[in-house]
Amino acid sequence: MRDEPVYVTQPDLPPLEEFIPYLEKIWNNKILTNGGPFHQQFEEALCEYLGVEHIALFANGTLALVTALQALRITGEVITTPYSFVATAHSLLWNGIKPIFVDIDSTFNINPDKIEAAITPQTTAILPVHCYGYPCDIQRIQNIADTYGLKVIYDAAHAFGVQDHGGGLSRHGDLSILSFHATKVFNTFEGGAIVCPDAKIKQRIDYLKNFGIADETTVIAPGINGKMNEVQAAMGMLQLEYVNQAIDKRKKVDHLYRQELSGVRGISVPVMPVLTRYNYSYFLILVESDYPLSRDALYEKLKNHGVFSRRYFYPLISDFPMYRGFSSARAANLTYAVEVSQKVLCLPIYPALAGDEQRRIVKLIAGN
Ligand code: T4K
């Protein structure tokens, strides 16, 4: 008998019967969107959970990114990483901004040593990604931004619930963006948010995500429709009750993989960054040159056995046709990003993943 397919992730869903009372409330009060009661409650609850001052909810993380750039009036060139999901750079193109790709380092994040060489008179901001929820070198990035008068917007789509010694990771930068997509640690089916440091910028973001409407007769900017609806917000409220246990289960999955994979020749597992709390959003292995198969051959082998791993993030964003030629002439060397993108494989990780499934996956990798 063939094994059941295993995908790179599976959304964590609360018990359906617990969601029904939320839906009943929505059906009764007939407020479906445009900043209803669940929207309000969820913003407050999220601020508390993440330990941040202000949050603006969005229909998804991409609209949050696009709007964050508008909110800070970013133009010209923005320095970013080629090693991310395409949405990071797409948000720049949608704003008519030129992405300038800079190499990553062993943390999978933008290499701060390489940023300064990519700065030109047109540079207005840095858009780093906390890739896999591993934190960027926040201090050094901020120092560079301060020296050159640049804004910093973090794409923290992978970093929900991650904490460093000072608190939630999303408190850093001028703005920080979260995604609550179905494939994320915390999901509202689709969803996203901008974490902002002060009420004034939050007000501007709230206008921008609602067509720029300030009141019935006033439109202050060419805004977009980026709003999160009431069903998403209600789902978020319920999901918050379960997210800690979901992260604990992910932690167990991570630990079992590490244990089972240790000693498999040619496979290395990145060392966990030093954090107060990690979210175990991804489990990645590096397929090294002494492994008997290429990374892609291992990917195919797993697929043939019903295990759908993913090559996040291959190809590099800079290799897609619409981004060719966008690297900085002086900082165009993306050697490390190229190397990593050819070695990484993200294995299935989600709260419901059974230990037996994990052992089967490791057996396949180990060649048994
Ligand atoms: N910035 C970064 C750094 C990001 O990673 C992302 C999104 C964004 C910004 C943008 O945020 P959003 O606008 O999405 O909120 C997935 C997600 O669609 C995407 O949200 C995510 N990053 C990216 C890393 O991964 P795909 O194309 O790999 O997804 P897909 O549909 O192949 O799903 C992967 C597996 O998950 C499937 O094989 C099965 C499982 N799955 C998926 C969905 C959607 C389910 O079991 N149920 C589901 O509903 O992009």
CB atoms within 10 A of CB 144: 18
Question: Measuring from atom 46 of ligand 1, which residue has the nearest CA?
Answer: 10
Atom of ligand 1 nearest to the CA of 84: 3
Instruction: With residue 112 as reference, give the H or E element that holds it.
Output: helix 112-115
CA of 209 to the centre of ligand 1 (A): 22
pLDDT tops 80 at residue 329: no
Instruction: Give the Å distance between the CA of 184 and the centre of ligand 1.
Output: 7
Q: Encoding tokens for residue 209?
A: 């995500």
Q: Tell which residue, 161, 143, 329, has the closest CA to residue 245.
A: 161
Cβ of residue 306 lying under 6 Å from some atom of ligand 1:
no
Give me the phi and psi of 169, to 5 degrees please: -65, -30
- CATH number for the domain spanning 36: value is 3.40.640.10
251: Cβ contacts below 8 Å, ≥ 6 apart: 278, 280
CB atoms within 10 A of CB 10: 15
- Note the residue count of the chain: 368
Q: By percentage, how much of the chain surpasses pLDDT 70? A: 98
Q: Which whole number is the average pLDDT over 43-52?
A: 97
Residues 221/203, Cβ–Cβ less than 8 Å: no
Binning pLDDT at 50, 70 and 90, where does residue 4 land? confident
**Closest atom of ligand 1 to CA, residue 62:** 13
Structure tokens at 9: 């992730």
Residue 160 in any domain: the answer is yes
Q: How confident is the model at residue 327 (pLDDT cuts 50, 70, 90)?
A: low
**Is the pLDDT confidence value at 331 over 80?**
no
* Ligand 1 contact via 318 beta carbon (within 6 Å): no
Question: Does any domain span residue 132?
Answer: yes
State residue 328's pLDDT score: 54
CA of 181 to the centre of ligand 1 (A): 6
> Ligand 1 centre from 183 Cα, in Å?
5
pLDDT tens digit string along 256-310?
Answer: 999 999 989 999 999 988 888 999 999 999 999 999 999 999 999 999 999 999 9
Which residues sit opposite 268 in a β-bridge? 286
Nearest CA to ligand 1 atom 24: 85
For residue 71, the enclosing domain spans 16-239
Query: Using an 8 Å Cβ cutoff, are 101 and 328 in contact?
Result: yes
Model pTM score: 0.97
Q: Token digits for 160? A: 């929900």
The verdict on 173 and 310 lying in the same domain is no
pLDDT tens digits along 181-235: 999 999 999 999 999 999 999 999 999 999 999 999 999 999 999 999 999 999 9
Kind and range of the H or E element at 46?
A: helix 37-50
Residue 2 pLDDT greater than 70, yes or no: no
* Residue of minimum CA distance from atom 33 in ligand 1: 183
Extract the tokens encoding 217. 């007769």
214 and 234 part of one domain: yes
> Mean pLDDT, to the nearest integer, of 150-155?
98
Q: Are 285 and 267 in contact (CB under 8 A)?
A: yes
343 and 299 together in one domain: yes
- Rounded average pLDDT over 53-60: 97
SS3 of residue 212 by DSSP: coil
Same domain? 282 vs 226? no
DSSP 32: -
What pLDDT shows up at residue 326?
Answer: 73
DSSP-derived secondary structure for 148-188 = HT-EEEEE-TT-TT-EETTEEGGG-SSEEEEE--TTSSS-S
Considering the domain architecture, whether residues 69 and 203 belong to the same structural domain is answered as: yes
Residue after which a domain boundary falls, among 185, 220, 239: 239
Q: Is residue 4 part of a domain?
A: no
Whether ligand 1 lies within 6 angstroms of the CB of 128 is answered as: no
Q: Residue 25: CA atoms inside 13 Å, Cβ hemisphere, count?
A: 13
264 Cβ contact partners less than 8 Å away, ≥ 6 residues apart: 362, 365, 366
Q: What is the pLDDT of residue 3?
A: 72
Identify the sign of the CA torsion 156, 159, 163, 164: negative
